[in-house]
Amino acid sequence: MVVEMEQVPGKNPSASQSEIQKTDFIWMNGATVPWDEAKVPVMTHALHYGTGVFEGLRGYGTDENLLVFRMKEHFERLQQSANICDIESPYSSVELEHACLELLRANQIKEDCYIRPIVFVGFSGIDLSFLGYPVQAAIVAFPFKHYFSKPGLDVCISSWTRLHDAVTPPMAKICGNYVNSVFAKREAGKNGFDEAIMLNSTGKVSEGSGENIFVVKRGMLYTPTLSSSILEGITRNTVIELAGKLGFEVVERDIMRAELYTADELFLTGTAAGIAPVISVDRKSVASGSVGIMTRRLSEAYNSLVMGKKTFGHDDWVTRVY
């Protein structure tokens, strides 16, 4: 299930469940190599300056197969991020798709997993322009159940402002961009919250530290526009499509902070998080403080989609690994 309705024993219920379990192999620069041999020099440009782009994909284990959700779109967005960052990827999106499948099969992963492709500037010098520097690529895959361990999240409004296009483009998954999200997430965690909601430079709602946000009010779904300094989430797009199939109207518009306090339902969407219900904002309950009906219906539809039980007219969204 994408939205877990029970807590994990022995874990801090407010913590993200993101520990990594090593697998046998990593795909790196055109070859499948043992995990411990996939190394980069300490002076790798991306390590010092954040000059890399990445993606996150989910694989879902079923009795019959391992299903990767919207693989094509994720690798296409990786290339788009590289173009925005002026990083020339040494591999096409199709080549990386094939490498991803090769890696999953080499590791014989058949359970729920997370897949992390990255394209980054390698070792050469310390010139910020990285002109003529080598560009490397790698894909890591490992078992992964869920990002949040709670059935409903307690979130806060971050004191950190979401970065915006005039500073560094949020629509690209650039490694360095995520320092902005790290600040917000750590602040939230230290103050006892599960996640942070960031406002943009005009004070409107942007997104979580790693998720898009949806507001339910009087039977309507609202989500911030692309100009609200958000990532154009693939899960966000999936939810908008599913909402239409279920007869829910979705409006993309600016959302004020106060609307989060008066919402009937709130939920976050992201590859790692799936659909994650929010039950309080700044310690104020969202409506009754429980998971809402629309959130549940969308979660059920999303679960059916990623597990290959129902396509909703999108047969090409699920890739069978075996």
Same domain, 57 and 105: yes
User: Same structural domain for residues 300 and 252?
Assistant: yes
Could you tell me if residue 268 is inside a domain? yes
Say if residue 177 is in the same domain as residue 241.
yes
pLDDT at res. 19: 80
Domain range spanning residue 252?
Answer: 153-306
Among 152, 250, 163, 133, smallest CA distance to 193 is for: 152
Is the pTM higher than 0.85? The answer reads: yes
Q: Are residues 301 and 169 in the same domain?
A: yes
pLDDT tens for residues 201-218?
A: 999 999 999 999 999 999
Same domain, 61 and 201: no
- Does residue 78 share a domain with residue 200? no
State the Cα–Cα distance between residues 71 and 61, nearest whole angstrom: 15
Give the pLDDT score at 7.
Answer: 35
- Together in a domain, 177 and 293: yes
pLDDT value, residue 9: 32
Question: Reduced to 3 states, what is the DSSP secondary structure of residue 276?
Answer: strand
Does residue 10 lie within any of the structural domains? no
Question: Has residue 9 been placed in a domain?
Answer: no
Q: Which residues are catalytic?
A: 173
pLDDT tens profile 74-99: 999 999 999 999 999 999 999 999 99
Mean pLDDT split into 10-residue runs, the chain, 322 residues: 34 56 97 98 98 98 96 98 97 98 98 98 98 98 94 97 96 98 98 98 98 97 98 98 97 98 98 97 96 97 97 96 98
Residue at a domain's end among 92, 111, 143: 143
CA–CA dist 183, 185 (Å, integer): 6
Of 143, 166, 185, which residue is a domain's last?
A: 143
Cα 123 to Cα 112: distance, rounded to the nearest angstrom: 34
Q: Is residue 119 part of a domain?
A: yes
| Buried/exposed 142-159: b ≥16 CB within 10 Å, e otherwise | bbbebbbbbbbbbbbbbe
pLDDT of residue 140: 98
Q: Specify whether 133 is located in the same domain as 278.
A: no
Looking at the fold, whether 161 and 139 belong to one and the same domain comes out as: no
CATH number at residue 295: 3.20.10.10
Name the CA radius of gyration of the chain, rounded. Answer: 19
Give which of 216, 177, 209 is closest to 195, Cα–Cα.
Answer: 209
CATH number for the domain spanning 50: value is 3.30.470.10
- Answer yes or no: is 19 within a domain: no
Q: Is 23 left (phi over 0), alpha (psi -120 to 50) or beta?
A: beta
Residue 157 and residue 126 share a domain: no
Domain count, the chain: 2
Residue 68 lies in a domain: yes
The answer to the question of residue 5 being in a domain is no
Whether residue 15 lies inside any domain: the answer is no
Q: Are residues 225 and 271 in the same domain?
A: yes
Among 143, 167, 188, the domain boundary falls at: 143
Query: Do 137 and 185 have their domain in common?
Result: no
